[in-house]
Each structure stands twice: as C-alpha cells, then as structure tokens.
Structure 1
Amino acid sequence: MKVVFRADASLQIGSGHVMRCLTLAEALRAEGAECHFICREHLGHLLDLIRSKGFSAYGLSTADNSSDSGMPVRQAVELTHAHWLGATQLQDAKTCVPILEKIMPDWLIVDHYALDAQWQTSLQAFFTRLLVIDDLADRKHICDLLLDQNPGHAEQDYTALVPNDCRLMIGAQYALLRPEFARLRKQSLERRGSPKLQHILITMGGVDQANATGVTLQALKTCLLPASCRISVVMGLKAPYLAEVADAATNMPWPTEVLVNITDMGERMVSADIVIGAAGSTSWERCCLGVPTIMVILADNQKSGAEALLSSGSVELIEQVRDIPTRLPVAIRALSNEITLSELSENARRICDGLGVQRVIKRMSNTNG
C-alpha cells in the first residue's frame, strides 16, 4: 500500500500536525505500507526530522506562489487558516501533481487547516482514497474517512461537510499516539496510586511562539511548592524563546532542567506528578497516562477540546497565556490536594487508552476504494 501525507509544520502552525502524521506513518510502515510526505518549507518545517525517520519527504518552496499556470491567485472561498499554506490551494495542488502522479498513492492523508474540498477535488485523479485529519469542522471535504480526535466534537458536526458515504472517526479513542503511551499506561496509572507534588513537567509544544514556558516559570516563583520539588521543561530545538527559557531555569528556586528534542516524552510524563502543558495533541498523551494536568490554551482551535476536558473533570484550565500569572498559583494550590490529584488522574484516564492508531488503521483496511 502506498500512502502520501500532506501536512506542514512552522513557527506559526507548530509541530503537532506533522508529528501525529509521523506516528500514523510509522504504524502503517510496520504493517508494510510505503509512506511519503509532502511539506512546504516554512520557517520551522520538519522535513529533516521526517527524513531521519526513514521516510521520503518532498519539500514545496515557500516562493512557489506564482499564477503562471493560469490558475487564479485568490481562492474561491477564503478559509480561516488560509494564511498557513503559503500559496493558494490551487497553486499548492499544482505543485503536488507531479509528486502524486509519480507515486499514485492508495491513500492520500491530509492534515492541514488551509486545505479543503477545492484542493482535494483538483487532485482527485491522483489518489484512490482520501483520509482527512481535522480538528475544526469548519470546511468541506470529499474524503472517504475523516478523523477528528477532539472529544469536543460529534459526528453531526461533520454531516454537512463530508460525503454521505464518508466514515467518521470522532473522539479521543482515535487519538494518534505513539506506541510508547499504551505501553507505559499501566506503569503510569499505578504510580498515581500515591499522588504527591514533587515533580512538575512543563511542555508547551515544540515551538511555543507565545513563550508560555517562560511566563510559566516566572509564575511558578510565586507558588507554594515543596522545597524538594523539581521542574523539567521540554522544548523543541527551533523554539524561538529556548535561550531565554534556559537562562530563566538557572534562576528558579527549585532544580530546573531544560530538555530539548527529547525522544522519551512518555517516560518523562510517567515520572511527572503534574504537567503544565498546552492544549492540543499532547493532551491525549497525558490522558492516556492519567497525568494530572494544568492546561493552557495557546490557539483558538484548541478551545473546544480543552473545554471538553475541563467539563469531564480531567484538567485544570488556563484559557490564555496572559492569565498564567494569576491563574497558575490558584491551580497549583488545588493540585496540592491529594484528592484533587487523584480525581484528575481518574477522569483523564477514561478519555483515551492509547490504541487510536490501531483503530484508524483498521478503519483504513476496511474501507473499499
């Protein structure tokens, strides 16, 4: 089976779309599939990482936005995230044609908020089946399968946006988590049997354009934490505030380490008593491991999922980065209570079991062309 992924990463987009596609690609490869990626070369792209995982990756130039093909420069409908693409949908499709024509994939998998049915229709001759990964339910698709791992959405949110025969996979039971999280789930849940507050893990995504990490470190200085507490910070190598955060870590009242581009996030989460982290795709990793979480919303598209987790009693929520200085001390006080820690862990573990990738691949296998 041949599979092509179309997803981007950048300082603006973040790394989550590409990372979850990589997770699915690695699982598909283990099943014998041949996987390829198409990504635009935005500042902060992850093409080198994709290639280091052994996948072929085709880079689209950020200067590739001319209209010499006669295609219109303006899109028929301006999508909310159209500026993420770096070209119009038709221009992007035009550059994808020779790649798809060469591979002729059995599955095209698209994880991009700036692409919709317009792009998909223009490329329909070059793939057999289409899987769309979405979180927004704000645009139309012509897909065979649609995956939205957001517990804040339901099937009816997509009824008018996909073909009648499209099969929907909605909810965190389909979350695309790496195998390590299912493997570590039992160990992590057993560890929550004696909750305490000794180790805090801060993870605001690979980019953290808003410097939520730096704001969090400053706010923690005002919190009542045990003298024996330690803090771990996880960041991406291309995070623009990495040097500033590393400097701030040396001035914390508690031992604070800054970890860059780690490959053992699951183990780091298992060892943490609480996580202060961004809403988004890592939310389901924390739920799988039952880690009590103080969640920070960093983008509008994270709101529905974050609010669903708040309603389920799975997180303490800070709705904006600017609220961290006032809201974090309150949340830390709440999590100093062992009962609250246990309740958050128990509710979180019910959200996601880490087996979503297998469910998605099973649906792909059962979908006829």
Structure 2
Amino acid sequence: MTYRIVFRCAVSATVGIGHLMRCREMARYLQGLGGESVLLGPPDSLRTEADESLFADWIEVPERGSSAEDAARLVALCRKYDTPYAVMDDYRGDPEYQQILRNAGLRWLQQFDASKPWEFQPDLLVNASPYERREQYLPWLKDPAQTRTLFGPQYAVLRPAFAGLTARADGRPVQRILAAFGGGDDRGAIATTIEALAGRLGPDVTLVIVSGAGNPRREAVAAKVAALPAGQVEFHVNPPDMIQLMRDCDLAVIGGGTMSYEAAICGLPIVFMGLAPNQERPCQGWQDLTGARYLGQVGTVTVSELYETVANLVSDDTARTEMAAKGRQLVDGQGTRRLVEALLEREREDA
C-alpha cells in the first residue's frame, strides 16, 4: 500500500517558515515509508532542489480566498491523489473549513493557534507547546471521542539530525549566545538583543545572530553589526548548518516557535521574547517546566531587562545546568514519527 498525504501549509514573512519545515520533515518520514506527499500553499520561490524529490506535487496558492474555497481546494487535491490523509499546518482552518473536510470523509491532522481556539473536529489535534493539556480543550472539541489530542514537546517536529546530537556538558561557561527569531520578520527582537548584549558580557562572549533571508529587517541588522567592533557579533543568514551552529552555542535568546524545541534538545538554556500572541503560552510553558526565562512580547521587553536576565544566567552555572537538563528531557526528536504514524494509524507500541 502506498500512503499519500496532502499538506496544506501557511508560510509568509509574518507567520515565518516553521510550518513549511514541519511539512517537509513529515514528508521526509513518509518518503521513508515509501509514501508520497503533496504540498498546497507555499510560493514556488521557497521550493528547493531537495523539495523536487520530497513532494510529488507543489501547488502554490497566491490567494487563499474564503475558508469554503480553500477547503474545497484541499478536498479536490485529496481526490486527485486518491487519499483520505491530510495535514492542516495552517492556523486558518476554522470550523467552517473543518466541517467541509469532515463531510468529505478526510482523516486529517491539524496544528492550531492556542491563542485563538475555536470548535475543533479533526481526527488529530496537535500542539507541541509544553503548556497545553487535553482537559483545557474538551469544551472546544465538537466530538471528544472522535478527536485525539497530541499535545506536548514529544510531538515537536524536528529535523532528524537533532535526535542524533551528542550532548555537550550542561553548565559549561557561556562563550557563544545564540540570538534567532525564526525565518520571517524578527519584529525588532534582534535589534533589541544587539543593543542589550553586544560587547557587554566580556571579551570572551560572542553574540551569534541568525536571520532568515526573508526577514524585512535583515539589512538594518547587517548595518548594525557592521558598525560594531570586530569579534563582538557574528551574523548569519540562512546558515547551511544551523544544527551545528546551535550546538556550538551555550545559551539562546529566541522566540517561542519551532526553535524552542531545537534549543531544548541541544541543551541550551533559554531566554524567551515572544514574537506574537500565540507564542505567549508556549513561552510560559517552557518557563514553568524548565525554568527558562520568559520576558514578554518583543516591544515590551527593555534593553536593561534583557541584559540583566542574560547576565544573571551567565553567572549562574546551577540555573543553566538545571534548565538544560530539563529541556532535553522534554524533547526526544521523535515527534515526526509519532505524528505520521498516528495519522496513518500504524503506530508501534513504543510510539
């Protein structure tokens, strides 16, 4: 039997590219099972050479239209490829949209924005945030017996290389601090981080800044970095080996998106600045479960607040050690497998 999954994916400078990353990794896992994937939504400009073999088809959607129109588009594509399986990695899948998928007899997995809950009726409702619990969502489930909730960091979709990382010593001296806020608009978070930390933590500490090529503030960030003394800051745009770059850092200042799981599995102590309301609950969850520091939404965090928080962590080996160990315990890198196997109803006992 050849499994096929149609992915509906939202991606833009505003929402970032984390949704596309998740779809790619699930498609990669499905490919390993001998299956095929179809991607609906992202622009062709984001298509890479690797995507040519990863997706049997890539359909750009320049204008989404109404929920009814987009849901019909997804259903038609499932019909074309003779599959009942779909993944909604697009937070606009509202109740009207879901009802159309249900009426069409699809079996689908739905990622969602916890800051804007509405009635849900997918077969699998997914949120990897450490904050979410099934009991919180029972009032939002149209049929609780029909919808399985897969919540928590064990369902985070990460690149396979993260699962095979060799752990570095927890509590090691802080010499490299990662500052990264996804592949889209950093919303001023990088500028705040530069002002707060560049050259202010001693000569042995380097600020390692990572930006996506699609970040509209990228050129302004590059200009800030160029004006600083040599050695204080490294600036990377879409680095070819982000995994190694992260592993080589000792602390992270990041947003509450996909990178939070990557930082956790790397054993990085984390300071969070949320980029959007839907990152508030994940950031709070990380703080509650690991001791990570959540300072609030970008734009509300002051330079002095960020500096003091990071400086205190740099000097507190015990706090960094505990934070790193707790984060790594929550993320094992097997989320992709768990999600695909659950969607296809072929889970192993150890899933």
Q: Can you list the C-alpha shifts for 1:22-68, whole angstroms capped at 9, x where unaligned?
A: 22111111111100111055xx9735588456322111122xxxxxx
Q: Can you list the C-alpha shifts for 1:212-259, whole angstroms capped at 9, x where unaligned?
A: 1122112214x7312022222111111101111112112234442221
SS class of match (2:284): helix
> Does the CA contact (< 8 Å) of 1:135 and 1:150 recur in 2?
no
Alignment map for 1:198-237 (pairs within 5 Å): 198-221=175-198, 224-237=200-213
**Cα distance in structure 1, aligned partners of 2:137 and 2:147:** 10
> Does the CA contact (< 8 Å) of 2:177 and 2:250 recur in 1?
yes
> Does the CA contact (< 8 Å) of 1:17 and 1:112 recur in 2?
yes
- Segments of 5+ residues of structure 2 without an aligned counterpart are none
Alignment map for 1:129-278 (pairs within 5 Å): 129-136=107-114, 138-162=117-141, 163=143, 164-184=145-165, 187-188=166-167, 191-193=168-170, 195-221=172-198, 224-253=200-229, 254-278=231-255
| Aligned mate of 1:335, from 308, 313, 323 | 313
1:179 partner amino acid: P
Shift of 1:306: 0.6
SS class of match (1:319): strand
**Cα distance in structure 2, aligned partners of 1:193 and 1:108:** 40
> Does the CA contact (< 8 Å) of 1:216 and 1:325 recur in 2?
yes
| Aligned mate of 2:273, from 291, 296, 318 | 296
SS class of match (1:12): coil
1:167 partner amino acid: R
CA 1:295/1:52 → structure 2, altered by over 3 Å: closer, same or farther?
Answer: farther
CA 1:147/1:263 → structure 2, altered by over 3 Å: closer, same or farther?
Answer: farther
Task: Please tell me whether residue 282 in structure 1 is matched to residue 272 in structure 2.
Answer: no
**Cα distance in structure 2, aligned partners of 1:53 and 1:234:** 28
Task: Please tell me whether residue 46 in structure 1 is matched to residue 46 in structure 2.
Answer: yes
Q: Can you list the C-alpha shifts for 1:64-100, whole angstroms capped at 9, x where unaligned?
A: xxxxxxxxxxxxxxxxxxxxxx532012224444433
**Cα distance in structure 2, aligned partners of 1:259 and 1:249:** 11
> Does the CA contact (< 8 Å) of 2:177 and 2:207 recur in 1?
yes
CA 1:124/1:90 → structure 2, altered by over 3 Å: closer, same or farther?
Answer: same
> Does the CA contact (< 8 Å) of 1:292 and 1:315 recur in 2?
yes
**Cα distance in structure 1, aligned partners of 2:49 and 2:237:** 14
TM (norm. structure 2) is 0.88
Shift of 1:125: 5.8
Shift of 1:342: 1.2
Q: Can you list the C-alpha shifts for 1:269-323, whole angstroms capped at 9, x where unaligned?
A: 1100111111112111111121111111111001111111111233122202221
> Does the CA contact (< 8 Å) of 1:50 and 1:57 recur in 2?
no
Task: Please tell me whether residue 3 in structure 1 is matched to residue 5 in structure 2.
Answer: yes
| Aligned mate of 2:341, from 319, 338, 362 | 362
Query: Aligned residue for 2:77?
Result: 99
**Cα distance in structure 1, aligned partners of 2:42 and 2:238:** 21
Alignment coverage as a number of residue pairs? 338
| Aligned mate of 2:33, from 31, 34, 41 | 31
Query: Aligned residue for 2:304?
Result: 326
SS class of match (2:219): helix
- Segments of 5+ residues of structure 1 without an aligned counterpart are 63-85
1:121 partner amino acid: Q
Query: Aligned residue for 1:61?
Result: 62
**Cα distance in structure 2, aligned partners of 1:60 and 1:50:** 20
TM (norm. structure 1) is 0.84
Shift of 1:204: 0.7
Task: Please tell me whether residue 344 in structure 1 is matched to residue 323 in structure 2.
Answer: yes
2:216 partner amino acid: P
Name the stretch that deviates more: 44-53 or 7-16.
44-53
Name the stretch that deviates more: 97-106 or 312-321.
97-106
Higher relative contact order (CA 8 A, sep 6+): 2
SS class of match (2:275): coil
Shift of 1:366: 2.7
Query: Aligned residue for 2:292?
Result: 315
SS class of match (1:26): helix
Report the identity percentage.
Answer: 26
CA 1:194/1:302 → structure 2, altered by over 3 Å: closer, same or farther?
Answer: closer
**Cα distance in structure 1, aligned partners of 2:163 and 2:226:** 34
CA 1:268/1:213 → structure 2, altered by over 3 Å: closer, same or farther?
Answer: same
Task: Please tell me whether residue 22 in structure 1 is matched to residue 21 in structure 2.
Answer: no
